[in-house]
Structure 1
Amino acid sequence: MESKYFIVIDDKDQNKVINEGIIEKIRRDIPSIEYGFINLGLREFQTKEHLIDIDKVLERFVQLTDQKHIDLIACDYEFEGEKINGLDIIHSIRTLNKKVPIMLYSGKQDDVLKPIFQKYEKNKKPLEVFEDIKVLLQNNFDDFVDRPNYPNEIIRQIRSSKGDLNLTLLKKLKEQENLIFKSLFPKFEGQTLKQISNQVQKKTIDGIEFSEELLEQVISYLIKMN
């Protein structure tokens, strides 16, 4: 049975929105759908000064994603009374997972983009504008949507996601994570499948070589069986 799992990050409680606006609508098509929610407004994710503690957020993120394949992350852009924003959260998540699709949403999309173009109109310095745009791109998020519409966008992306070969490989490795690897790729001999999936997910050199070698072996097998 197809299963889906997504995570929402916001500083306001989104459980009702998620359950009524996403889960109830999509469960007819995908009965096995689950979500994780990180409420940045809770004290457990804040410093003594009541500001968001990114380290605590990442710790919770690791807990929510342990032994799970993530199909999508949706993160709010602005957090009330905070110096950091959704881009900072995404940047930190990308240190742990470079592959998962991430959607940024905001009720003030114009406020995010206006300063960039206003700077150009005022100073006429394309290089400065380019640097600002580059910061947005370097955070490597896949979509930027209007806040009221983010539940519908999650549904659309969950339904349309076909999954790529690398994500499927990660999912299968994690299903048998305690098994010990014994052959095919000497560099990983003696490691558990969980350790190997971490290398693949982090896109290390060995992880990339392993994925390529595995694909070559599968193709060779298919050719022999043809």
Structure 2
Amino acid sequence: MKTSLTDPDSVDANWRSMFQQLPGTGVKPDQFHSKTRDYFRRLAKDASRYSSAISDPDTNAKQVKVLQLINAYRFRGHQHANLDPLGLWKQDRVADLDPAYHDLTEADFQESFNVGSFAIGKDTMKLGDLIDALKQTYCGSIGAEYMHITSTEEKRWIQQRIESVAGHATFSADEKKRFLNELTAAEGLERYLGAKFPGAKRFSLEGGGRAGADAERADSSRRQERHP
């Protein structure tokens, strides 16, 4: 510190910047020590100003657990999606979707936590509300498996679209009519091919007709973003 007073250029720029913010900069070296000592003594007496900045280790640990829970739903929520309308399929338990797996208890459900990058439109949520939102987004009637995608841009694009609507996209009347026309056209083409080439090997659209409409809409949205 004394060196910074007598020869400032000999001190690293970061340290020099810090020393310049201390009181007494520009005074004689023999006066600097007493002024600096008084400065830190005043800070110690007024420590209450900085107490709010001190974090609770337990709260920080739970915050990390909450972010891990969000990530677990992104990775494995599709394994618990409601894809069987008849209820005949018994789903296997997905352990890391359980808050208890992350050391989160019902006592934490009324506590508010930062939701990180979860695109729900809020910075913080009560844990109970967050879990409900995660279930609606990733465990509804549509399962979203996308975290294996290597492109960060594509992965975030899907994540934003899914989470911002809680897994329930809204469509205008015109969009619904267009989807119906596309599904009808696909069904008509399949029937025609079946009648025209009865012995030819082909892959049926049965049960997956909606995938074409979904893919077309996703591609259309992507094109609009690139060329607004």
Q: Same fold (TM over 0.5)?
A: no
Which has the larger share of strand? 1
TM-score where L is the length of structure 2 = 0.22
Q: Which has the higher contact order (CA 8 A, sep 6+)?
A: 1
* Structure with more of its chain in helix, by fraction: 2
- Larger radius of gyration, structure 1 or 2? 2
TM-score by length of 1: 0.22
